[in-house]
Amino acid sequence: MEDSYSYRKYIYDLMEKGKIEIIGKSVDKDKDVPRMLYLKQDTPMLFTEIKNFENTKIVGNLCPTLKNLSDALDTSESRLMNKIIKIFSNFKKPTIISNKGEWVEKRVDLSRLPIPKYYKKDGGCYLTSSIVACQFPNSDEENLSVHRIMVLGKDYGAIRILPRNLFKILNEKGGKSEVAVIIGVHPAIFLAASLSLDYGVSEYNLANSLLNGKLKLIRTESGIKVPLGSEIILLGEIDLNQRKKEGPFTDITGTYDIIREEPVIKFNKMLIPRREDIIFHAFLPASNEHKLFMGFPQKIKVINALRSKGINFKKVNLTNGGCAYFHCIISIKKIKEEDGKDTINCVFEHVHSIKLVIVVDEDIDPYKVEEVEWALATRFQAEKGLIVLKDSRGSSLDPSTFKTGKTSKMGIDATLPLNAKKSNFKRAQINE
């Protein structure tokens, strides 16, 4: 019987409830799978027959919407964000158990896994659902983070690493470290790995709290712990000093990222399920699932920043059109005249990737673009409510920065002045 927090149990539950589309015909991992996932981005899909791969399935769009994520975390969409933010102040460490023979060891051969090439001009086949577990220096705690890995051979690839916790760990260890790459986990674990915590704090603690204390970890022979119920484990080493070309790669913007020299990750062991089949997790780049898991940490940062500033906000929408990463619409209840502009400046100060902030009154739903545009048309005057910042820290993912990471930012305060006669700005009601 599968543990309640396992990858397989999550997939089986979707099947039992009829919430995953099962594709029974033979499909090509490169030509068919990405295209079908792209066309139905809000639909979990299970491909049961992969050309040239025996006893192998692919699952994609596994957790593509807020509803999927809420269901996975056993809560409602309206309570999801508060549940996650509350957990940040009350982490629970998971239980460590002895190896139950969950996996069998196989000779490392990445070509045995149905790793897709997702887009036409991608540099190669990419691991995109890969969580890297790496122990902090002089610690038994693991940092978890999600990284793309371009496959370069049967036992190695190039891994994209930004200057965050994993990069800091590697530097403190002299540029090299053993790691475990985990493919196929419950969405709660994937979400935790997407939410970068303070240095030295393990995302396993967050994952365990999201799973109500049910997460169990198994220690591998390298000492690195991995979740019971994971599908595939690759054990190896990252070397910052050995570099290979990585890219192009289609990132969250739907445009191709540039080719870079990135660290090599070399694998020495591959652990696969002690079952007849493998279910490989294909995480489609630039999809709604990608935007959900990259945008969620940004949204948490925005909410925490607004709360710290004492802004009385109602809703926060990191828009899908803004890649859930660059554009933010916020509704507030104004208490002070400067609240609109303070909201804009607060977001720009604390969340560097966001380049457009629109602030509206509480009667406007930031998730309804037509309402927001109506508020801009009827309540906004550029000479009073427009803020423009130049040469600000942005995101290297934004192609308009030409990969400099420097950007211009715009804030639009479309809230009414406190002394305005509100009745003049309400929508007219039809006779009934």
pLDDT digit string, tens, across residues 392-411? 999 888 889 887 889 999 99
- The reply to whether 103 and 251 lie within a common domain is yes
pLDDT of residue 403: 75
Q: Residues 30, 32, 251, 257: which is the catalytic one? A: 251
Last residue of a domain, one of 275, 303, 328: 275
The residue from 275, 299, 325 where one domain ends is 275
* Chain segment 209-253, per-residue pLDDT in tens: 999 999 999 999 899 999 999 999 999 999 999 999 999 999 999
283 pLDDT higher than 60 = yes
Q: Identify whether residues 302 and 334 lie together within a single domain.
A: yes
Number of separate domains in the chain: 2
57 and 165 in a single domain? The answer is yes
Write phi, then psi, for 224 (nearest 5 degrees).
-80, 135
The model's pLDDT over 308-350, given as tens digits with 9 standing for 90+, comes to 999 999 999 999 999 999 999 999 999 999 999 999 999 999 9
Local confidence band at 360 (pLDDT 50, 70, 90 cut-offs): very high
Decide which of 242, 275, 308 is a domain's last residue: 275
Looking at the structure, do residues 96 and 184 belong to the same domain, yes or no? yes
Report the CATH number that the domain containing residue 341 is assigned in CATH.
3.40.1670.10
Distance between CA 324 and CA 216 in Å, rounded?
A: 32
Q: Are residues 237 and 316 in the same domain?
A: no
Instruction: Tell whether 2 is covered by a domain.
Output: no
- Length reported for the chain: 432
Inside any domain, residue 338: yes
Between CA 26 and CA 48 the distance in angstroms is 8
Rounded percentage of the chain residues whose pLDDT exceeds 90: 87
Check residue 57 and give its pLDDT.
98
Structural domain of 407:
291-425
Tokens, residue 47: 């491909």
Q: pLDDT at residue 369 above 90?
A: yes
User: CATH number, domain at 231?
Assistant: 2.30.110.10
Residue 281 lies in a domain: no
Q: Count other Cβ atoms within 10 Å, centred on residue 425.
A: 13
Which region among 8-12, 71-75, 254-258, 398-402 has the lowest average model confidence (pLDDT)? 398-402
Q: In the beta sheet, which residues pair with residue 328?
A: 318, 357
Separation between Cα atoms, residue 165 and residue 290, nearest integer Å:
21
Token pair 């122990």 in the structure block, residue: 135
Query: Is 251 assigned a catalytic role?
Result: yes
Q: Of the candidates 138, 153, 183, which has an alpha carbon nearest to the alpha carbon of residue 7?
A: 183
Q: Tell me, yes or no, whether 135 lies in a domain.
A: yes
Give the pairing of strands 149-151 and 126-127: antiparallel
Please, what is the average pLDDT of the chain? 95
Residue 100 has pLDDT above 80, yes or no: no
**Is the preceding omega at residue 399 within 30 degrees of 0, hence cis?**
no
26 located within any domain? yes
Burial (CB count <10 Å: 0-12, 13-18, 19+), residue 359: buried
Per-residue pLDDT, averaged over 256-267, amounts to 96
Q: Which pLDDT value is given to residue 1?
A: 47
So what's the pLDDT on residue 2? Answer: 63
Looking at 14-18, 314-318, 423-427, which range is the least confident one?
Answer: 423-427
**Quick one: three-class SS letters along the chain?**
CCCCCCHHHHHHHHHHCCCCEEEEEEECCCCCHHHHHHHCCCCCEEEEEECCECCEEEEECCCCCHHHHHHHCCCCHHHHHHHHHHHCCCCCCCEEECCCCCEEEECCCHHHCCCCCCCCCCCCCEECCEEEEEECCCCCCEEEEECCEEECCCCEEEECCCCCHHHHHHHHCCCEEEEEEEECCCHHHHHHHHCCCCCCCCHHHHHHHHCCCCCEEEECCCCCEEECCCCEEEEEEEEEEEEEEECCEECCCCCEECCEEEEEEEEEEEEEECCCCEEEEECCCCCHHHHHHHHHHHHHHHHHHHHHHCCCEEEEEECCCCCCCCEEEEEECCCCCCHHHHHHHHHHHHCCCCCEEEEEECCCCCCCHHHHHHHHHHHCCHHHHEEEEEEEECCCCCHHHCCCCEEEEEEEECCCCCCCCHHHHCCCCCCC
Q: Are residues 301 and 403 in the same domain?
A: yes
Judgement on whether residues 144 and 109 belong to the same structural domain of the protein? yes
Q: How many CA atoms lie within 13 A of 108 on its CB side?
A: 17
Residues 66 and 167 in one domain: yes
Residue 233 falls inside a structural domain: yes
Has residue 285 been placed in a domain? no
- Cβ neighbour number for residue 42 with a 10 Å cutoff: 12
Same domain, 116 and 194: yes
Give domain status of residue 431, yes or no: no
List Cα–Cα distances, 247 to 113, 117, 119, 175, 293, in angstroms. Answer: 20, 11, 11, 22, 21
| pLDDT higher than 90, residue 271 | yes
268 in the same domain as 307: no
Return the structure tokens found at 25. 């015909």
Q: Based on the domain organization, do 221 and 331 belong to the same domain? A: no
Which of 297, 293, 273 has the alpha carbon at shortest distance from 284?
293
Q: What is the pLDDT of residue 421?
A: 83
Kindly state whether residues 107 and 248 are assigned to the same domain. yes
pLDDT at residue 101 is higher than 80: no
